[in-house]
A and B are shown apart, each in its own frame.
Chain A
Amino acid sequence: DTGVSQDPRHKITKRGQNVTFRCDPISEHNRLYWYRQTLGQGPEFLTYFQNEAQLEKSRLLSDRFSAERPKGSFSTLEIQRTEQGDSAMYLCASRLGTGSSYEQYFGPGTRLTVT
């Protein structure tokens, strides 16, 4: 499978715990995106990387959230001191940074439930 993969697919955690999600983009894609999708809503942009550089962060990304892409390949999204409002689907997407397609390819998502 050469698509975008995310791990874990589901995560249940207690309020106050830290969680970390991983995203593996399509191998030749240098741009990687994180989105959050709550029930009944469209995805909301959180942040994106070009190679290892984090170029943009949404105001939705509070200081409890941190994302990294240390070698320009996979990325991690960490949420510290989780709150019930963090319960959502976290989607990762990737695309080529060159060319005219602009198509983002999405992973299956990580569903987070905070109890």
Chain B
Amino acid sequence: AQTVTQSQPEMSVQEAETVTLSCTYDTSESNYYLFWYKQPPSRQMILVIRQEAYKQQNATENRFSVNFQKAAKSFSLKISDSQLGDTAMYFCALMYSGGGADGLTFGKGTHLIIQP
């Protein structure tokens, strides 16, 4: 069974600061994908960034980047120059990519608040 753990229920930073959200996971599979999804208040979930486990290079998308430590099973999200619109629930998720089991396993989420 796969598990995803987000140990920070809530974080609050000032606008323009950099913030890092933590995620650890456990899986016995070697082929998998990791994702960070954002769920703004009363709005649908959208993908922020993804990482293929076979790639050593950390993924980046504009102000968002990850620190993927495969041996430690750690997948943190860094948001640079945070903006008010970044306020949302952030979910770390894992998906086995070997075929068959295809659903995402999510963590409990981190509520990120960007203060003006």
Contacts and interface: CB of A to CB of B under 8 A. Distances in A.
Interface in A56-85: 56, 58
B45 A31 contact: no
B97 A102 contact: yes
A44 B106 contact: yes
Contacts of B50: 101-103
A55 B44 CA distance: 25
B78 interface: no
A78 to B, nearest CB: 19
B46 A43 contact: no
A40 interface: yes
A107 interface: yes
A55 B43 CA distance: 28
A99 interface: no
A44 B95 CA distance: 12
A33 B103 contact: yes
Contacts of A100: 52
A33 B45 CA distance: 14
Contacts of B6: 42
A4 B77 CA distance: 26
Nearest to B93: A42
A102 B55 CA distance: 15
B91 A43 contact: yes
A115 interface: no
Contacts of B52: 100
A40 B47 CA distance: 19
Given A43-B91, A43-B106, A56-B103, A102 B45 contact: no
Contacts of B95: 102
B11 interface: no
23 contacts: A31-B102, A33-B102, A33-B103, A35-B104, A41-B108, A41-B109, A42-B4, A42-B6, A42-B106, A42-B108, A43-B91, A55-B102, A56-B100, A56-B101, A56-B103, A102-B33, A103-B35, A103-B47, A103-B50, A104-B104, A105-B47, A106-B46, A108-B43
Interface of B: 4, 6, 33, 35, 37, 43-47, 50, 52, 91, 93, 95, 97, 100-109
